[in-house]
Structure 1
């Protein structure tokens, strides 16, 4: 029996139950009626969303955005809007069990999802999509394309960074800095240790039991970088003025470019020189020095955890995941400002100087990978591309 037929059958049984027990208490009748209404709505939903006559859509690329500023079209774009318009994602698949409806180009096999901001929403949205019977995701490539903070020691605003490692910044012990031993440089230290950065030699980058670190498919990431490294990225006067303040950071004063680096995923929007130093130490610890902290964001460890479970179930191939983070802001202040002053400047008024450029970079760089996969589906369907 299909899910739709099962729900219809259950609705009929609920109706009979209501009729049979008319003399029961008001509470029982109210409960039964609520159940009946629920299954009727579910029946309509399943009929609308999962037609028994249509096979699941074979998805070639899933574009994962984290937020949209306003509407999906016609106003200032967030991470999703350019993808929806330029990839012609015009077919709507309602996703009431997720944060945002899925949009697809049924001819190219590209779909777009908005997870919502933060670990909880991202994890739920990716799992909701991965379990959705309307989509065949078994051969799909996943492209996370979103904005991020960037370490001024490594790169500059407006740049696009392909990720090699994702490190979770939330799983930890934390003792307030006012109560830590005088020999400690931080009160934030890994779970199952008793002091900052103990047992570093026991870290297994490729087998993290609690999701503290994920190593992405490095050959695929390098291929994406090689394909897109010469992409022309946007710049403007406001970005030039901001990066000129970083007098102690030569890489911060360069023009936007495409590079690679590690990503720190944490629900707290942190900022400042002290926490930037922590981020570098934290990433180095969890990658055993193989990864260098370059970008900061919120959702990617959650996305990877959901994809890992879905991969275990044979529904997706987590080796086909790519993460592209584009720099909308710096993760610490310039020498002329305090951390609080800089964060206030960036989070008020017109916002980040590089927001628009970073959103454009995510599409301009990411779409080159998406288009290549779609246009070469005869080979990319069964063979993950690598650099020659």
Structure 2
């Protein structure tokens, strides 16, 4: 039965429910949810944000009104549902919670692909690079002192909640929405499917990355890797803040974690998904995060942090938007075409180095 037929059936059931107390429409089963964060202008037919390529290229032609979200939901007959949350942690958390509690959808077996653009650490990635995260760490839940007032021995004015100094949380109080470890076996499976995908290069990002002499990874053509994501509604930039992000990632997620991407929403999305998992609405073992570098989190040699913060994204970030779709869609299509297997068995792979 097609999705349109399911929607019509749900409407007919709802009408019948008026004369049959207690009857409710059967929820629509979802195989994969693609979570994007921002759109520019309209959701189709103009300059693309993170949502548009999924709608247009996957023919997500069925629209669902979504009053508690920023945009309507889109779906196709194959079982792919897409949402655009709106930017920032609060938008992401509220939009995903609204979707997860929506009685129109059965999300119990759905895989979640959170995918969008980010600022990349030039020590690890080049522009257009796609990184699958094993860890997401929130970068807003902390103490902050103005840099002009920090003790001389401190590397920066950011320290954990309840701590006495940076990089110390032995005696600190905290909250449970800072570190989100993901299903490593699923991450490694997704990486294995995509690691050899030739991420498209372009003249604009090739020219921009040449400024990063001394950063071997930054001057490479774009590639696919495994690397962790910092989630912060505060849009940080610069060598010193990138140093802090690397330290913070290891402090919160462990010595094997490696900060590669700075983004604005993922801890909000994962907070909502964790709560929905408690209510058995979704399965946290089926969640993936893929971020692609539209810009760098730190300046090149010879420039300062203010320049890095205000510089235009090369080609308006289009290469990263394209990479998020191209790399992410490999995994989406594998899950959908292999649904007979993956509906009840979460894929896994041997750990990647």
Q: What TM-score, normalized to structure 2?
A: 0.91
* Structure 1 residue 377 corresponds to structure 2 residue 348: no
Provide the residue aligned with 2:129 in structure 1.
159
Structure 2 unmatched ranges of 5 or more: 1-9, 18-23
In structure 1, what is the Cα distance between the partners aligned to 2:119 and 2:145?
Answer: 25
Secondary structure of 1:253 counterpart: coil
* Structure 1 residue 74 corresponds to structure 2 residue 45: yes
Task: Say which of 281, 288, 309 aligns to 1:315.
Answer: 281
Task: Say which of 26, 29, 36 aligns to 1:55.
Answer: 26
Q: CA RMSD in A?
A: 2.0
In structure 2, what is the Cα distance between the partners aligned to 1:255 and 1:354?
Answer: 18
Task: Say which of 96, 102, 113 aligns to 1:132.
Answer: 102
CA contact (8 A) 1:49 1:93 kept: no
Secondary structure of 1:329 counterpart: strand
Secondary structure of 2:113 counterpart: strand
Provide the residue aligned with 1:33 in structure 2.
none
Task: Say which of 290, 301, 316 aligns to 1:335.
Answer: 301
* Structure 1 residue 178 corresponds to structure 2 residue 148: yes
In structure 1, what is the Cα distance between the partners aligned to 2:346 and 2:200?
Answer: 30
In structure 2, what is the Cα distance between the partners aligned to 1:341 and 1:188?
Answer: 22
Offset from partner CA, 1:90-126 (integer Å, 9 cap, x none): 1011000111111111x21110000000011000000
Give the structure with the larger helix fraction: 1
Residues 167 and 113 of structure 1: is their aligned pair in 2 closer, same or farther, counting only changes over 3 Å? same
Offset from partner CA, 1:269-303 (integer Å, 9 cap, x none): 11111111111111111112120000000100011
Q: What TM-score, normalized to structure 1?
A: 0.83
* Structure 1 residue 109 corresponds to structure 2 residue 79: yes
Shift of 1:234: 1.4
In structure 1, what is the Cα distance between the partners aligned to 2:202 and 2:80?
Answer: 31
Residues 275 and 297 of structure 1: is their aligned pair in 2 closer, same or farther, counting only changes over 3 Å? same
Shift of 1:49: 12
CA contact (8 A) 2:159 2:167 kept: yes
Task: Say which of 58, 61, 65 aligns to 1:90.
Answer: 61
What is the 5 A alignment of 1:94-243? 94-105=65-76, 107-199=77-169, 209-243=175-209
Residues 266 and 233 of structure 1: is their aligned pair in 2 closer, same or farther, counting only changes over 3 Å? same
CA contact (8 A) 1:157 1:354 kept: no
Provide the residue aligned with 2:3 in structure 1.
none
Shift of 1:201: 9.8
Provide the residue aligned with 2:6 in structure 1.
none
Provide the residue aligned with 1:38 in structure 2.
none
Shift of 1:175: 1.5
CA contact (8 A) 1:164 1:217 kept: yes
CA contact (8 A) 1:68 1:78 kept: yes
Structure 1 unmatched ranges of 5 or more: 1-45
In structure 1, what is the Cα distance between the partners aligned to 2:233 and 2:222?
Answer: 26
Shift of 1:369: 0.6
Task: Say which of 364, 375, 379 aligns to 2:326.
Answer: 364
Shift of 1:321: 0.3
Aligned residues: 334
Residues 48 and 143 of structure 1: is their aligned pair in 2 closer, same or farther, counting only changes over 3 Å? farther
* Structure 1 residue 306 corresponds to structure 2 residue 272: yes
Offset from partner CA, 1:327-379 (integer Å, 9 cap, x none): 10001110121111233222xxxx43361111111111111111111111111
